Structure 1
C-alpha cells in the first residue's frame, strides 16, 4: 500500500506553501498526497469561491481542488468532507492511513496564533495522529537535513505503534541527522542514558549516540528548545505531545501549544498517551 500524506488545504498562500513542503517530503518518502478540504468547518472561504452553503460555491471549490491536484508533480487525490474538522480528520485517517497530516500555520499575529494553536490542540485531542505544522515564513530547507527532537526525560508511550516509524522513515528518506534537546532548570546535569532511553524505548530510532544529546539550562522549556534549535540550525523540530498537556484547561500554558505558536521552523508533533 502506497503511504500517503494528508494535507489540509483552503487555497490560501500559507496553505499552498504547506502543500509544496508536503510534496517535497512525499518524493523521498515514496508517498502520495491527499488534499483534504472540509466544508462548513467555520473557516473563511477565499474570495471568488462563492458561498460555502451554495451548490455553485461547492462546485467551484471542487473544481479548484481538482485543478490543484492536477498541478502536483506526484500522485495526488482529493478528499472533500463535510462537518467539523476533528471528525473529518478522524475519518480521513481511517480511510488513508497517512504517515502524518500536514497543516499550514496562518497569520503570526498574537490573536491568530493563539487561535491556530487552540485548533491544533483540539485536533490532537480528537484525532491523535502525527501532525506536521508548516509556518508561513522563517524556513527555507526542504527536505529537512537537521532534525531536533525535544524530550522532557520522562517515559512516554506513543498513541499508536505505527507512529513509532514516522521519525525513522523520515530520517532514512531525507538522510537527515537527528539531535535531542533536553531543557532543565536544575544545575545538576541529568544522566544522558536515562534521557535517551525514553527515545530508544519507543523505537523512534534504531541507534542513538549520547553525543547527540544537548542539555540546555533555561528558565523556560520553550525558550530553551527554540534557542537550541537556532544554535543547531535545525530545519525541523520534533515534539512529543503529551496528553496531560493537551488536556490542560488553558491551552496557552501547554509547552506544545507555545512551540506551535513560536517555532520559526516546521514542527512535527508525535502524540503520546500520557
Structure 2
C-alpha cells in the first residue's frame, strides 16, 4: 500500500490549488491522495454553497470523484458528516498519511481567521503535519528550498512524522535551512549555540547537512520569519508548532495566524511534543 496524503477539500475544488500542489508532491513521494470533504463544516462547505439548490450531495460526490479521476496519482474520495476535527482524526487513523493539506482560503469570502482557527484546532486535537497552501501561485510546483523556523528551544516531534526527511529524499537537489528570529541584537552568539543545540538534539542536523542556522533580528517574529524566508529564497516554510501554546514562545497564536494569512509560501506545520 502506498503512503497517503489527505487533502481537505471543498465543493469548489475544481480551482483548488492546494490539491494541485499536493498532487505535485504525491508523485515524487510515491503517495496516493485522499480527498476529504466534511459536509457540514463552515470551512469546507461554505454557506453560499449549502444554499444552492444546484449542488446536492450526490452532485458533489460526482464532482469530487471526477476531480479525483483527473489526478496524476491514484485518488480516493471521502465525505464525512462529522465535525472537522473528528473527520480528520478518523482519516488519520484509517490512512496514517504522511501529512494533511489545507488550502488558504477555500473561497474569496472565507476570512483568514477561519483558516487559522481550523489549523489551530487540528494541531491541538490531531497532532499531524499540516501543510497550508496559499490560494494562488503554487499549482504544479514542487519545492526545493525549505526553510524551517524554530523558537530556539529543544523539540521532539511525534512518532512517524518524518515528512521533511521524506521530502528532502524525494525532491532532487532540495535543501533545508534553519531560521531563528531574535528580538535581541546582542545575543547572536548565544542564539547560534542554543539553536544549533536544539537542532542537534532533534536530529534535524543530519537534514541540514550541518549548515549553520540563519539568525535574523526583527522586532516582529512573523514578519522576521517571512523576511528571512525571502532572503533565503525559500519555496516552502516549515514551522515547528508547540501544542501547549500554539506555537509556543515566539510562535503564539497571533504569529501563527499572521503567517497563515500573509505568507506567500506554503507552510508545513510540524506539531511537537510539549
* Equivalent runs, 1:94-243 vs 2, <5 Å: 94-106=93-105, 112-139=111-138, 142-158=141-157, 160-163=158-161, 165-175=162-172, 176-186=174-184, 187-189=186-188, 190-204=190-204, 206-243=206-243
2:20 is matched with which residue? 20
Measured in 2, the distance between the counterparts of 1:134 and 1:211 equals 27
Q: CA deviation at 1:57?
A: 1.3
TM-score relative to the length of structure 1: 0.88
Task: Return the offset for 1:79.
Answer: 1.2
Instruction: State the 1:101 CA deviation.
Output: 0.5
CA contact (8 A) 2:145 2:235 kept: yes
How far off its partner does 1:109 sit? 7.9
Unaligned runs of 5+ in 2: none
**Residue pair 2:150, 2:179 contacting (<8 A) in 1 also:** yes
Residue number in structure 2 paired with 1:93: 92
Size of the alignment, in residue pairs?
267
Unpaired runs of 5+ residues, structure 1, are none
Cα distance in 1, alignment partners of residues 227 and 74 from structure 2: 38
- Please give the alpha-carbon distance, in whole angstroms, between the structure 2 residues aligned to 1:61 and 1:24: 24
Q: For residue 245 of structure 1, report the CA deviation from its aligned partner.
A: 2.4
For residues 49 and 12 of structure 2, the distance between their equivalents in structure 1, rounded to whole angstroms, comes to 10
> Structure 1 residues 95, 181: closer, same or farther in 2, change over 3 A?
same
Distance, in Å, in 2 between the alignment partners of 1:79 and 1:20 is 18
**Cα offset, 1:138, TM superposition:** 4.8
Residue range with higher mean Cα deviation, 218-227 or 100-109:
100-109
CA spacing shift, 1:155–1:51, aligned 2, 3 Å: farther
Spell out, residue by residue over 1:200-235, the C-alpha distance to the aligned partner (whole angstroms, 9 max, x if none): 323345253554411001101111110011111100
Q: By how many angstroms is 1:131 displaced?
A: 0.4
| Residue 22 (structure 1) shift | 0.3
1:120 Cα deviation from its structure 2 partner: 1.1
Q: Deviations over 1:219-255 (max 9, x none)?
A: 011111100111111000000011132299xx98432
SS in 2 for 1:6: strand
